[in-house]
Amino acid sequence: MKKVYDTADEALDGLLHDGMLIAAGGFGLCGIPELLIDALVKSGVKDLTVASNNAGVDGFGLGKLLETKQIKKMMSSYVGENAEFMRQYLSGELELEFNPQGTLAERMRAGGAGIPGFYTKTGYGTQIGEGKEVKVFRGEHYILEEGIFADLSIVKAWKADDTGNLVFRKTARNFNPPAAMCGKVCVVEVEEIVPRGSLDPDTIHLPGIYVHRIIQGEHEKRIEQRTVRKREEA
């Protein structure tokens, strides 16, 4: 069982086909699989549906796959930071399915957990609930949402061992575990691959059973909104 690959291109080899559904981890530009996105651009695979909370920014993250028009449809909760996205969306070139953020996360988690649908209060009585089954539990209205079963998951973690056990760092965890869970195949990029035995089994955030291929690489980790406070004068 060899999970470690040398490059992102090799890690995606044989997994890509036009029209596929990809679940991507990350929130804004935090914890996004930047190396695998670059490899997807290089591969030329097209007509992609991408389930990802956001759509990157112009020239970085999923913004790169939008520039090359490889994405047909996005499933997201917030897409405000990307001018090329808006241009394609308003011109009708790009489909967009808005999902409330928690519904998107739970749809991924559910897909990975073998749960094809679940009921949630979120979105009941709004546009999001239109056309969806409504059921009353304990006097309250819930709508039916479906699990996401992706062809491929692309995920960024901090560390992995060679068996695929993952550790994330701070808020870069975000959508990565649920995105990893919902794919038939999950490819992960990390900052460091460590020898087995060197991660404390009690501190592993996602067990390697969800992880099929791993690469290590350098990450730019761009900051979207740099906010600081002044140091008080001593």
Partner 1 sequence: MPWDRNQMAARAAEELEDGMYVNLGIGIPTLVANYVGDKDITLQSENGMLGMGPFPYEGEEDPDLINAGKQTITELNRTAYFDSAMSFGMIRGGKIAAAILGAMEVAENGDLANWMIPGKLVKGMGGAMDLVAGVEKVVVVMDHTNKAGETKLLKACTLPLTGTGVVDRIITDLGVFDVVEGGLKIVETAPDVTEDEIRSKTEATIV
What residues make contact with partner 1 under the rule CB under 8 A?
27-31, 53, 76-81, 86, 98, 100-106, 108-109, 120-128, 158, 168-178, 205, 221-231
Nearer to partner 1, 12 or 71 (CB): 71
Min separation Cβ 15 and partner 1, Å = 24
Beta pairing partners, 52: none
Q: How far is the CB of 167 from partner 1 (least distance, A)?
A: 11
C-beta closer to partner 1: residue 5 or 100: 100
In this complex, which beta carbon is closest to partner 1, that of residue 15 or of residue 206?
A: 206
CB of 44 to partner 1, least distance (A): 28
Minimum Å gap between C-beta 134 and partner 1 is 12
Tell me the CA distances in angstroms from 26 to 94, 171, 172, 232, one per residue in order: 21, 9, 7, 34
Q: How far is the CB of 1 from partner 1 (least distance, A)?
A: 25
Cα 19 to chain centroid, rounded: 17
Whole-number Å distance between alpha carbons of 156 and 134 = 36
Q: Judged by CB, which is closer to partner 1: 77, or 163?
A: 77
User: CA-to-CA distance for 194 and 191, rounded, in angstroms?
Assistant: 10
Q: Which residues pair with 120 in a beta bridge?
A: 143
Q: Are 51 and 24 in contact (CB under 8 A)?
A: yes
Report the half-sphere exposure of 217 (CA within 13 A, side-chain side). 24
Residue 15 or 112 having the CB closest to partner 1: 112
